[in-house]
Amino acid sequence: MPEIPPLNKKTKIIGWNEELESAFSIYEGSYMAGRVMSRHKTVCEILISGATIKAGISGALLRIGKQPVVGDFIVLLDQSELNLYTIVNILPRRTCLSRGAVEDGAEEQIIAANIDTLFIMTSVGKDLNLRRLERYLTVVYSSGAKPVIVLNKIDLTDNPAEAVEKIRSVAGDVPVVAISALSKDGLVGLEPYIGPDETVALIGSSGVGKSTLINTFFDKQIQKTMEIREDDEKGRHTTTVRQSFLLPNGGVIIDNPGIREIQLGDSYDGLERAFSDLVEIGQKCHFKDCTHNQEPGCAVQIAVKNGTIAKERFESYQKLMAELVFQSEKAELGLKRLEKKKYKGIQFNARKYKEYKENR
């Protein structure tokens, strides 16, 4: 496990604010606040005021389905005299990065919480995929965090401006920053988004340079890195655990394992923001409920035909919308199954209780 840089006694809990203070004010006695820096199955590394500690998760919290994630502000039962700390509650989350359920009926998986800015990292070459960037933007907008697209490895191309323009065709007003994490070129462009008391998270495929960027911020190897494969330019997963690091300027940066494709989950609002150009044109359609397929007077279809909207971008929007509908229907079916299962359980317990009463 990568080592968290040591803290001094004056270090505060990064990101703590008045809303969290108010939520925590109901706890008295042997309770203290902290922030999850990393999680390893049932044990979390917690940042408290002036130190980092390890804490378990209470059984009561797990039974009600509440799982702390990296970035969470939590309530700890302090039994320091026994060298024991237990997470007993999670304070309200301001933002949540999540991905859709993989299995039928499962809930969305929260990846990290309380993030201010999300760096969507890609690199020049084969990893630069506009359709994947549209998917990432949809998810990031839904999280509530601010997206920034980071184009890494510009030292490997003679024309980084061309790659930046390619990204801008789908980025809208999202900032695009071109850098080389290895040679440190362009890093000044990231400074406005990594301020004191701010939390930044990195997402992107394996091999795009997330761990290298973190090492560059600290000017030493904090995270392990590996070379990418030459045949397809893909990297191996060097980061296997979500991990937070305290930046020298007083901010927090979260490294995530590489994700090539992320399930959308419930991201309708994010989809509209990621495709705001298409949505704006769609307001001119003849029918308010136009699906942009075969309806007469469809402004979007006209825009596709005259090249105002790229055909590939429109098809990407249609694909992601269909996926959102499918995810929504799957979640609804899963919820019905869950309710049916609960009802069967209630019936079974009632029958057993009745038999118990009759046999007394």
Distances (CA, A) of 279 to 170, 174, 271: 13, 17, 9
Whole-number Å distance between alpha carbons of 210 and 162: 22
pLDDT class for 276, splitting at 50, 70, 90? very high
Q: Which of 223, 230, 192 lies closest to 209, judged by CA?
A: 223
> Of the ranges 66-75, 123-132, 239-248, 338-347, which one carries the lowest mean pLDDT score?
338-347
345 Cβ contact list (under 8 Å, min separation 6): none
Interval 177-196 mean pLDDT: 94
Instruction: Flag whether pLDDT at 354 surpasses 90.
Output: no
Tens-place pLDDT, residues 79-135: 988 889 999 999 999 999 987 655 554 567 888 999 999 999 999 988 899 999 999
Query: Residues spanned by CATH 3.40.50.300 within the chain?
Result: 96-255
pLDDT of residue 75: 96
Tens-place pLDDT, residues 121-172: 999 988 899 999 999 999 999 999 999 999 999 999 999 999 999 999 999 9
Topology (CATH level 3) of domain 18-90: OB fold (Dihydrolipoamide Acetyltransferase, E2P) (2.40.50)
Tokens representing 91? 């304070």
Query: Residues spanned by CATH 2.40.50.140 within the chain?
Result: 18-90
Tell me which CATH code domain 96-255 carries: 3.40.50.300
Q: What is the share, in percent, of the chain residues with pLDDT greater than 90?
A: 56
Residue 119: phi and psi, rounded to 5, are: -85, 110
pLDDT of residue 314: 94
Using only C-alpha atoms, the chain has a radius of gyration, in whole angstroms, of: 24
